[in-house]
């Protein structure tokens, strides 16, 4: 059982989140969009139901075409540009929260890797992840 609280925020602290439970899933995504959005090799993410999350502070949103149609929304802090979570607040029933924003990064225990097909050779994933060519069905 996880007794520590999942909470975190952006670099400057203006955009914060806290969850009242552990995430439903944790993984890393190596898709091109995550790479470009983060300026890194992948984005580590955690999935929470919207009802479990309290998000406070200003957000700036960026929308891009999603793989399965529609748009994918990423929310960053307008002051420091820290990328914090995905999805439309108040509309989506679940959100991905980017694990780099965790106050205690040791809470992140990924089990899956998405978009193996886009993973650069220099991204060496942790052992034991279930790898998906793109997304799970």
Q: Which residues sit at the interface with Zn ion, rule CB under 5 A?
A: 10, 12, 14, 29, 31, 34, 77, 79-80, 82
Contact 129, 109 (CB under 8 A): no
Distances 67 to 40, 71, 72, 85, 101 between C-alpha atoms, Å: 20, 8, 8, 18, 24
Within 10 angstroms of residue 122's Cβ, the number of other Cβ atoms is 6
Task: Calculate the CA 1 to chain-centre distance.
Answer: 22
> Minimal distance in Å, beta carbon 16 to Zn ion?
9
Name the residue nearer to Zn ion (CB basis): 8 or 82: 82
Name the residue nearer to Zn ion (CB basis): 49 or 78: 78
> Minimal distance in Å, beta carbon 29 to Zn ion?
3
> Minimal distance in Å, beta carbon 103 to Zn ion?
14
Name the residue nearer to Zn ion (CB basis): 21 or 62: 62
């Amino acid at each position: 059982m996880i007794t520590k609280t999942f909470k975190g925020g952006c670099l400057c602290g203006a955009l914060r989140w806290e969850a009242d439970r552990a995430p439903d899933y944790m993984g890393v995504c190596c898709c091109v969009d995550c790479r470009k959005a983060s300026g890194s090799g992948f984005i580590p993410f955690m999935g929470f139901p919207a009802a479990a999350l309290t998000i406070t502070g200003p957000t700036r949103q960026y929308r891009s075409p999603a793989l399965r149609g529609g748009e994918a929304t990423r929310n960053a802090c307008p002051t420091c540009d820290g990328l914090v979570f995905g999805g439309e607040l108040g509309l989506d029933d679940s959100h991905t929260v980017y694990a780099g924003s965790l106050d205690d990064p040791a809470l992140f225990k990924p089990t899956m890797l998405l978009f193996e097909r886009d993973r650069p050779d220099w991204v060496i994933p942790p052992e034991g992840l279930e790898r998906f060519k793109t997304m799970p069905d």
